[in-house]
Amino acid sequence: MAPTFEPKKILIVLHGSIGDVTRALPLATLVRAGFPRARLAWAVEPPSLPLVQGYPAVDEIILFDRRRWWVDFWPFLNKIRSKKFDLVIDLQRHLKSGLISRWSGAPHRVGFNRRDCKEFNWLFNNYFIPAFGDGISKLDHYLKFAEFLGLEPSPVEWNFRLSADEETAVDKHLAAVGPSFAVLFAGSRWESKRWFPTQIADCARVIRERHALDVVLLGGKEERRLSEEALAERGVQAADLVGRTSLREAIGVIARARVAVGPDTGLMHIAVAVGTPVVSLWGATSPRRTGPYGFDDLVIQGRAPCAPCYQRRCAIGRICMQSIAIEEIAGKIALALSRPA
């Protein structure tokens, strides 16, 4: 049974990936609307911190640096405890988030159903949303917490707000780029999910030749080599911003793009959040649960007997990603660009 009280202090626990935190932000908006007098805090780790910084629905951020867990964990837990939260929303469904939820001392701790949890997470919470399994998208699964809490439903929306300085930085990054451009995501944290330099190069050529759009490459510093290999291909023209923007600046770049293309990565979900059509390429993972929300028709699933394998590294040369032909990508790009702005 759902809580039937008006919380004064609410904590969302989701330390996860950029993609997960991005997908959970619409829930924060619903919680803010449903409990307008409550103070809403979010426990998060550094990689996803820029997503919740300045987010209108979030009043406070409690940071946990996992890289220094042996130093930071107890001070982090004590800070959580000192806030005296009366409602915790545990979106992580792992042992760590369960411990944080229980240690908070909150009398109402809402988590995933036992059948949807991992690592005995259910032992630490005392309210649970119904079980849905893997047949529901992660974003919709997060929104089930709002339904459980009796909050009024509303259309899914995000509300990123960049500062004037951040917008100026985006202007500088795009100074040599035309007003109409496409963004290509260079890679992904998992080696098994990355596309190939030749695919990136071919995609850039198609976009320039068929649609007269400039091309911008985006990604993290760890993807610099991949972008350099793609740009070394003959006849490729693109602005290389890989490893050169902050995450918030990347949000601004993606928001201005006509279309985005790339593999399963956090930036793909940011494209959804800012309303940029995204052509997503899938191999080692499946879009069924983690695909870009609202852009199912732009998904391309690679083909291989072992796909999806959910392995971080591939021992057989990523044949699933190799199976994605440039004409297949080109068709989805044309479809994306045919949508109203």
Task: Provide the pLDDT for residue 1.
Answer: 53
Exposure string over 194-219, b if 16+ CB within 10 A, otherwise e: bbbbebbbbbbbbbbeebebbbbbbb
SS3 105: coil
DSSP single-letter state for residue 217: E
pLDDT digits (tens, 9 = 90+) for 138-169: 999 999 999 999 999 899 999 999 999 999 99
At 339 the pLDDT is: 86
Q: Which of 194, 239, 199, 201 is nearest to 217 (CA)?
A: 239
Please indicate, yes or no, whether the overall pTM of this predicted structure exceeds 0.75: yes
CB 57 within 8 A of CB 29: yes
pLDDT in tens, 5-30: 789 999 999 998 999 999 999 999 99
Domain regions of the chain by residue span: 9-148, 165-337
The CA–CA distances, whole Å, from 12 to 88, 247, 282, 285, 321 equal: 6, 21, 30, 27, 36
* Of 188 and 58, more confident: 58
pLDDT tens string 270-317: 999 999 999 999 999 999 999 999 999 999 999 999 999 999 999 999
Q: What is the pLDDT of residues 310-341, one digit of tens each?
A: 999 999 999 999 999 999 999 999 999 998 76
Fold equal for 9-148 and 165-337: yes
Express each pLDDT in 209-267 by its tens digit: 999 999 999 999 999 999 999 999 988 999 999 999 999 999 999 999 999 999 999 99
- Whether 90 and 101 have beta carbons less than 8 Å apart is answered as yes
CATH superfamily membership of 9-148: Glycogen Phosphorylase B; (3.40.50.2000)
CA distances in angstroms from 130 to 94, 127, 145, 223, listed in the order given:
17, 10, 9, 39
Q: Which superfamily does 165-337 belong to?
A: Glycogen Phosphorylase B; (3.40.50.2000)
> Distance of alpha carbon 60 from its chain centroid, rounded?
20
2 pLDDT above the threshold of 70 = no
Judged against a pLDDT cut of 90, whether residue 67 lies above it is answered with no
Helix (H) or strand (E) holding 70: helix 69-82
Q: How far is CA 156 from CA 143, 244, 267, in A?
A: 9, 31, 18
